Amino acid sequence: MIWSRAVLIGGIINISVIGSGYVGLVAGVCFAELGHNVILVDNDRAKYSVLARGECPIHEQHLPKLLARHRGKRLSFSSSLHDAVLASEVVFIAVGTPPANNGEADLSYVESVAREIAGAINSYKVVVDKSTVPVYTSDWVRHVMVLNGAQPDMFDVASNPEFLREGTAVTDFLYPDRIVIGAHSLPTSNLLRDIYRPLCDGSYYQGLSAIPVPQGAKLTPPLIATDTKSAEVIKYAYNAFLAMKISFINAVATICESVGANVDHVRDGIGTDTRIGKRFLYPGIGYGGSCFPKDLSAYRAVAQECGYDFRLLEEVMRINDDQRQRFLHKVRRALWTLKGKRVGVLGLAFKGGTDDVRESPALAIIESLVDEGCEIQAYDPAAGERAREILGTKGVRYVDSAYAAVESADALLVLTEWEEFKSVDLARVRELLRYPIVIDGRNLFDPETMREHGFMYLSVGRPDVPLKEEKVRRQRRRTRHAVRQAEEARPGSRLANITAEL
Ligand code: UGA
């Protein structure tokens, strides 16, 4: 094993990260933040030029600031994997592992990167899987590299799964609950330890420019050193467990709806037990995103290959799919027929705080409503553009505020848990909506407050707030009066149409 002494001086390590998607970009930028020299590699010319221009291609808190801090200093970009590998001791593979048709993870990008790395090795390297991959991937990477000419004693393969959430990826990286390193040998494990040393010994947190500590964060995270297969299992088991928590509470919410119980109280009742915990027990329209749906299918496929029928995972996925259908059923229950109805939508992203719409339950629900003849007015603080690329404009109008989304709509649907939505002016929403109907797929609002504002309010796992017919009549009288006054003040204005409608 040949260690380049120069790279280890002062604890600074030369790293390349292959793939600058969510994981690669955040990891690369954060490695630079920890003091290492990083080359981010991407063969997607468009993405490469966005980064090279100094722009941030994703909506991620703190990322633009860190990119600006390190670009051209410790952080550089390259489209040449070969050159980057030559200049590095540690090469992280962070390319995509999309789902194949049979539910397995498609590892062809990982394989082709492994081939290319093999062709570029000129001195000892540690190659690290950071992409979420099935068990045995590190063995396969090693095998492919040897087949493609890499000397077996000139490299080692390790696994270092990531646990980043979109939207909080930077703080998740810099203030992790733990770091997991899977390696075959102590020197490899120690090299990876060195990369994370500023976090594990707490020196990063003492720096004046450190990204501020998020609430409840652990300082000096534990580092779990294990073998590569255990590290690979950790990542899949972890995502499967989190998804199971969500499907569990969604199933409980369904029971609550049938018996008239309140899932918020049930969550408090069970979540206060520290063995269970309240986090990640929020019911809704189901999980989405680029991780859970793909990773659960892949984990199930891995289990099947190992001869184990992991039916629990199948049920987790089934409950998740059912949540969308159950929500659509609520919309029909509130609006009766859907053809020709105008529906205001808050939220397009798969969750709040991100512009990512991959596997977003919001898009699936909108597609069904458009198929049934609804006209959608949708607002999302960040994901409008990305949603438009997928949904197009047939039946969907993308607007730039929550109030524009609800204007003259027959009902409002809440589909993403953005913090911003919690502070909308409910009285104004009530005035702008054609009918005071809100169907909340994320339980963002308090049912009592919605009742006070005169809404019919349906949420997930909590008792419905029915329509107060008297309040509706009063509101419509008030609206008619206001319209008449406005009409007198501005003859010929757009309000003339509303008067006709009333
Ligand atoms: C998830 C994990 O939380 C990360 O730790 C992991 O590293 C990442 O996958 C990955 O494998 O790369 P992410 O997909 O960014 O992160 O999003 P989450 O915050 O986990 O949310 C996933 C989905 O579950 C969202 O649609 C969200 O709305 C939904 N969710 C979450 C609920 O419906 N209820 C909850 O209580 C929590």
- φ, ψ at 215 (rounded to 5°): -60, 135
Cα→Cα distances 232→104, 224, 299, 313, Å: 15, 13, 11, 17
Q: For residue 5, name the pLDDT band (cuts at 50, 70, 90).
A: very low
Surface-to-core class of residue 388, CB atoms within 10 Å of its CB (0-12 exposed, 13-18 middle, 19+ buried): middle
Identify the three-state secondary structure at position 451.
helix
Q: Whose CA is nearest to atom 18 of ligand 1?
A: 165
Ligand 1, pocket residues at CB < 6 Å: 132, 162-166, 239, 242, 246, 280-282, 284, 287-289, 291-292, 295, 350-351, 417
pLDDT of residue 2: 41
pLDDT of residue 445: 98
pLDDT for 494 beyond 90: no
Lowest mean pLDDT among 72-86, 207-221, 450-464: 207-221
CA of 477 to the centre of ligand 1 (A): 45
Surface-to-core class of residue 1, CB atoms within 10 Å of its CB (0-12 exposed, 13-18 middle, 19+ buried): exposed
pLDDT for 479 beyond 80: no
Best residue for ligand 1 mutational test, from 178, 241, 242, 459 (most atoms within 8 Å of Cβ): 242
CA of 310 to the centre of ligand 1 (A): 21
Q: Return d(Cα 332, Cα 249) in angstroms, integer.
A: 23
Q: Return d(Cα 298, Cα 45) in angstroms, integer.
A: 29
Mean pLDDT, rounded, for 136-147? 95
More confident residue, 86 or 500: 86
CA of 246 to the centre of ligand 1 (A): 9
Q: Which residues of 481-495 are buried (b: 16+ CB within 10 A; e: fewer)?
A: eebeebeeeeeeeeb
Q: Whose CA is nearest to atom 29 of ligand 1?
A: 287
Identify the three-state secondary structure at position 465.
strand
Mean pLDDT, rounded, for 123-136? 93
CA of 285 to the centre of ligand 1 (A): 13
Q: Find the radius of gyration of the CA atoms of the chain.
A: 26
Percent of the chain with pLDDT over 70: 91
pLDDT for 145 beyond 70: yes
352 CA: nearest ligand 1 atom: 28
Q: For residue 218, name the pLDDT band (cuts at 50, 70, 90).
A: confident
169 CA: nearest ligand 1 atom: 15
Q: For residue 6, name the pLDDT band (cuts at 50, 70, 90).
A: very low
pLDDT of residue 8: 53
Which tokens in the block code for residue 442?
Answer: 């994320």
Residue-wise pLDDT for 180-189, tens only, equals: 999 999 999 9
Surface-to-core class of residue 478, CB atoms within 10 Å of its CB (0-12 exposed, 13-18 middle, 19+ buried): exposed
Contact 346, 50 (CB under 8 A): no
Mean pLDDT, rounded, for 292-319? 95
Contact 159, 128 (CB under 8 A): yes
Contact 416, 356 (CB under 8 A): no
Average pLDDT, the chain: 92
pLDDT of residue 134: 86
Which residues are catalytically annotated? 291
What one-character DSSP code corresponds to residue 194?
A: H
pLDDT of residue 498: 46
Residue-wise pLDDT for 244-303, tens only, equals: 999 999 999 999 999 999 999 999 999 999 999 999 999 999 999 999 999 999 999 999
CA of 439 to the centre of ligand 1 (A): 22
Phi-psi group of 15: left, alpha or beta (phi > 0 → left; psi -120 to 50 → alpha; rest → beta): beta
Q: Whose CA is nearest to atom 9 of ligand 1?
A: 291
Mean pLDDT, rounded, for 320-327? 98
pLDDT of residue 235: 94
Q: Whose CA is nearest to atom 34 of ligand 1?
A: 282
Q: Whose CA is nearest to atom 1 of ligand 1?
A: 165
Q: For residue 375, name the pLDDT band (cuts at 50, 70, 90).
A: very high
279 CA: nearest ligand 1 atom: 36
Contact 32, 55 (CB under 8 A): no
pLDDT of residue 475: 65
pLDDT for 473 beyond 70: no
Residue-wise pLDDT for 340-367, tens only, equals: 999 999 999 999 999 999 999 999 999 9
pLDDT of residue 501: 47
Q: Which of 315, 201, 184 is nearest to 248 (CA)?
A: 315
pLDDT for 496 beyond 80: no
Strands 75-78 and 456-458: unpaired
